[in-house]
Amino acid sequence: MDALSFDIVVIGGGCVGLATAYKINSRYPHLKIAVLEKESRVSAHQTGRNSGVIHSGIYYKPGSYKAKNCVDGRRELVAFAKEHRINHDICGKIIVATEEGELAHMNKVYQNGIANGVEDIRLITAEEIKDIEPYCEGIAGIWVGCTGIIDYVGLTEKLAELLAKKFEGSRVFLNTEAKDFVKEGNKTIIKTNQQDFEAKYLIACAGLQSDRIARREGTGTDSAIVGFRGDYYDLSEEGRKKVRNLIYPVPNPQFPFLGVHFTRMVDGSVECGPNAVFVFKREGYHKTAFSLADTAAAFSYGGTWKFFAKHWRFGLDEYRGAFSKAYFLKRLQKLIPSLTSADIQPGRAGVRAMALSREGSMIDDFKIEARGNAIHVLNAPSPAATASLAIGQAIQEMAAKQFGLE
């Protein structure tokens, strides 16, 4: 069978891959773009299993790609959601300090938000916390009015729909996994489990498989992806009465995650979590999921062991939360002391793709690299979903220069 020929092939049907394809086609509508997604639907992994939050941009280091793309991307995302009737709600959230030792970092988070141009944020008192979330207990906090919730699966499906409808020759191919890459002159042949695709240019937005795709394609990377599963609990009907919108703790600056929090979803349910535990299978969403290849890859990478050495106490604590409902509940009760075991029940799980350097440091910012006729998104952690349209715009501008698009 002859290879299907496209100007650009995008690997990955999550929000970043589809936003990238949409942005490039919007700027260059004559280009034929294919998006290859190995699953039977778009947004099957990180996009469809995240917390559903529209992040404000308050947490991120001023001047970082995360900060700029989150703030710009959030505003564009909300406008896009309004235009295309994607279910969302700008409901606001509170970040709550429960002890004196958290106040200094809480104030730093607030100052980051000011520096990043995040609108509608203010410091709040213990009394104001109770006004906003009556069951929450804290000594001080931050109100973040521009934070919201959204249906990210709906967003991604809409991008896929627009790509196919608006741009002649552009398509999304499901159940199509990129297996290998062969360079033929200035073009790349992408060999898949279905058929071959010929591309002038390649853009990989492969999430949990991003480092492997970069190596197979030949660009390579100096980091490696290690997966961390996040388990959620759902609040019962009675428990949902204790949460109006979104409640977050002040993040511990010594650890790389935001901590367990409460999130009202667009369907009215309320999730609490996630924890963060090392996974033995990159796309394993159950506690016992195991892949020999994924485990061997993680443990053969020196950066994994160096990361564990730095954060072993954090790791043990997270595993306790993964296997003990009582311990998980205790963490949640820091914010809502009246929460009971009957109020929470096991929910879904997601896996974060965390890029680690060889030195064992988490690569915190977005990492996008270009070489030859390829661009690779090598690290796109949270808030990548919120920032996806802005990331897509940044890749469009990178592609224009790297590929000489006209």
| In the chain, domain spans | 4-47+153-222+364-403, 224-239+266-357
The beta strands (E) that lie in 103-177 are given as 121-125, 140-144, 148-150, 171-173
| Confidence band for 379, pLDDT divided at 50, 70 and 90 | very high
pLDDT category at 160 given cuts 50, 70, 90 is very high
Residue 170: the pLDDT is 98
What does the pLDDT look like over 30-78, one tens digit per residue? 999 999 999 999 999 999 999 999 999 999 999 999 999 999 999 999 9
Average pLDDT (81-93) is 98
Average pLDDT, the chain: 95
In DSSP terms, 9 is beta-bridged to 34, 202
**Beta strands of 250-308 (E only): which ranges?**
261-264, 270-273, 277-278
The yes-or-no verdict on residue 254 having pLDDT over 80 is: no
The Cα 302–Cα 299 span in angstroms is: 7
Going from the C-alpha of 220 to that of each of 216, 358, 371, 377, 400, the distances in angstroms are: 8, 14, 10, 12, 22
Res. 173: pLDDT tops 60: yes
Q: What distances in angstroms separate CA 319 from CA 45, 275, 326, 347, one per listed residue?
A: 22, 8, 13, 16
The per-residue pLDDT for 49 is 95
The pLDDT assigned to 118 comes to 98
The architecture (CATH level 2) of 4-47+153-222+364-403 comes to 3-Layer(bba) Sandwich (3.50)
Q: What does the pLDDT average to over 261-266? A: 96
Span 349-376, average pLDDT: 94
pLDDT at site 1: 54
pLDDT at 256 over 80: no
Polymer length in residues for the chain: 406
* pLDDT, position 257: 73
Q: Which of 179, 175, 210, 183 is nearest to 192 (CA)?
A: 179
Q: Are 387 and 73 in contact (CB under 8 A)?
A: yes
Dist CA 190 CA 35 (whole Å): 12
Query: In percent, how much of the chain has pLDDT > 90?
Result: 91
| pLDDT tens digits, 282-321 | 999 998 999 999 999 999 999 999 999 988 777 777 777 7
